[in-house]
């Protein structure tokens, strides 16, 4: 069979198994099996595939049908136009999280953002995208998972920003040495009960997805003390899940009544990012955070 024929057959199988973006995934897997660049794949489409290479490719398709994400099989994933190493200790970056990067860059354009902290950085995709687009900014990236930080370090080295992104091991805001202008986070926000639907084969780390009973446990944990860790007029950018905007904005306006709160939809129209900006006149408010547990 030619490469084109093999691709078409594999795509049909993936489609029949309800795998979205079947064509793209088959191409990525075939390129990985044959160690081909994208251009080379297109140039070779009418070439015959050797039997050993074909067996390798079908083996990868079998793994994919077993639920293993393509990004883990091939070991990398594109995010914000950049390529990142991924492995099962880190969540695979999602296209909708690019909105967090876009919003952060907008803020940086309209004001002074000289220091940024990403909480729960995983493979480092968000922190590194910001580091590359904001060459003057000082960037911290924290994660509770030491194995995730190892992947983040590899990605920092791959993109030449290991001196600019300070990786810190620890829970939430704890490892931050100083207040910053912007805190950005894609925390776990999936309801525990929905984990089997989001990650049916369980390949992705639960730690990075599990937001507890109502999905908002980690977001609540971050919001309560966040005022202490932001500079005056600082900003928080949070990724949220479908249907969470109301609860998160209510919580934030309760904690920080005079701050400006905005909700931004993603390309599918789902409310995806919540931003909280302290105003100069009300900056003192964030140091008087209410003590009681928010439920």
* 189 contributes a contact to ligand GLN by CB under 6 A: yes
Choices 14-22, 48-56, 68-76, 180-188; region in contact with ligand GLN by CB under 6 A: 180-188
- Residues 131 and 184: beta-carbon distance below 8 Å: no
Question: Which residue in 115, 186, 224, 244 binds ligand GLN (CB under 6 A)?
Answer: 186
Q: Which residues are 236's β-sheet partners?
A: 183, 276
Rounded Cα–Cα distance for residues 119 and 202 (Å): 23
Question: Which residue in 198, 201, 267, 294 binds ligand GLN (CB under 6 A)?
Answer: 198
- Residue matched to tokens 């950085």: 121
* 190 contributes a contact to ligand GLN by CB under 6 A: yes
State which of positions 69-98 bind ligand GLN (CB under 6 A). Answer: 94
Sign of CA dihedral 242, 286, 235, 264: positive
Total residues binding ligand GLN (CB under 6 A): 9
* φ/ψ of residue 153, rounded to 5: -65, -45
Provide the minimum distance between the beta carbon of 162 and ligand GLN in the complex, in angstroms, as a whole number: 25
Rounded Cα–Cα distance for residues 194 and 131 (Å): 33
Rounded Cα–Cα distance for residues 28 and 40 (Å): 12
Residue with smaller CB distance to ligand GLN, 78 or 228? 78
Residue with smaller CB distance to ligand GLN, 41 or 245? 245
For 42, the 3-state DSSP assignment is helix
* 43 contributes a contact to ligand GLN by CB under 6 A: no
Residue with smaller CB distance to ligand GLN, 70 or 186? 186
Rounded Cα–Cα distance for residues 116 and 140 (Å): 6
Residue with smaller CB distance to ligand GLN, 34 or 223? 223
Residue with smaller CB distance to ligand GLN, 56 or 96? 96
Rounded Cα–Cα distance for residues 186 and 192 (Å): 16
Residue with smaller CB distance to ligand GLN, 84 or 189? 189
* φ/ψ of residue 60, rounded to 5: -65, -40
Provide the minimum distance between the beta carbon of 59 and ligand GLN in the complex, in angstroms, as a whole number: 26
Residue with smaller CB distance to ligand GLN, 247 or 282? 247
Provide the minimum distance between the beta carbon of 14 and ligand GLN in the complex, in angstroms, as a whole number: 19
Q: Which residues are 185's β-sheet partners?
A: 119, 238
Provide the minimum distance between the beta carbon of 94 and ligand GLN in the complex, in angstroms, as a whole number: 5
Provide the minimum distance between the beta carbon of 209 and ligand GLN in the complex, in angstroms, as a whole number: 5
DSSP string over 84-151: EE--TTSPPPPGGGHHHHHHHHHHHHHS---EEEEES-TTSHHHHHHHHH-TT-EEEEEES-HHHHHH
Provide the minimum distance between the beta carbon of 239 and ligand GLN in the complex, in angstroms, as a whole number: 6
- Residues 208 and 120: beta-carbon distance below 8 Å: yes
For 111, the 3-state DSSP assignment is coil
State which of positions 98-157 bind ligand GLN (CB under 6 A). Answer: none
Distances (CA, A) of 248 to 255, 256, 273, 295: 11, 12, 10, 11
Choices 4-12, 22-30, 132-140, 184-192; region in contact with ligand GLN by CB under 6 A: 184-192
Question: Which residue in 209, 216, 255, 276 binds ligand GLN (CB under 6 A)?
Answer: 209
- Residue matched to tokens 């030491």: 146
Which residues bind to ligand GLN, rule: CB under 6 A?
Answer: 94, 186-190, 198, 209, 239
């Amino acid at each position: 069979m030619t490469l084109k024929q093999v691709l078409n057959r594999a795509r049909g199988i993936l489609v029949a198994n309800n795998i979205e973006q079947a064509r793209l995934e088959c191409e990525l897997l075939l390129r990985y099996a044959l160690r081909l660049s994208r251009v080379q794949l297109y140039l070779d489409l009418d070439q015959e595939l050797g039997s050993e290479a074909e067996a390798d490719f079908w083996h990868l398709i079998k793994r994919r049908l077993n639920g293993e994400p393509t990004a883990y099989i091939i070991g990398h994933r594109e995010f914000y136009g950049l390529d990142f190493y991924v492995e099962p200790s880190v969540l695979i970056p999602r296209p909708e999280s690019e909105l967090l990067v876009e919003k952060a860059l907008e803020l940086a354009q309209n004001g002074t953002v000289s220091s940024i902290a990403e909480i729960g950085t995983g493979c480092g995709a968000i922190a590194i995208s910001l580091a590359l687009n904001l060459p003057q900014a000082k960037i911290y990236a924290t994660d509770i998972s030491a194995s995730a930080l190892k992947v983040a370090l590899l990605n920092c080295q791959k993109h030449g920003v290991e001196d600019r992104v300070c990786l810190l091991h620890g829970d939430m805001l704890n490892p931050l040495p100083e207040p910053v202008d912007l805190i950005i986070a894609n925390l776990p926000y999936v309801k525990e009960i929905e984990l089997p639907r989001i990650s049916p084969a369980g390949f992705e780390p639960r730690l990075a997805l599990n937001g507890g009973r109502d999905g908002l446990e980690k977001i609540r944990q971050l919001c309560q003390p966040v005022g202490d860790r932001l500079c005056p007029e600082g900003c928080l950018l949070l990724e949220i899940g479908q249907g969470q905007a109301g609860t998160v904005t209510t919580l934030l306006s309760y904690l920080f009544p005079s701050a400006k709160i905005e909700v931004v939809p993603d390309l599918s129209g789902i409310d995806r990012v919540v931003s909280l900006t302290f105003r100069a006149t009300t900056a003192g408010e964030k140091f008087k955070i209410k003590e009681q547990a928010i439920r």
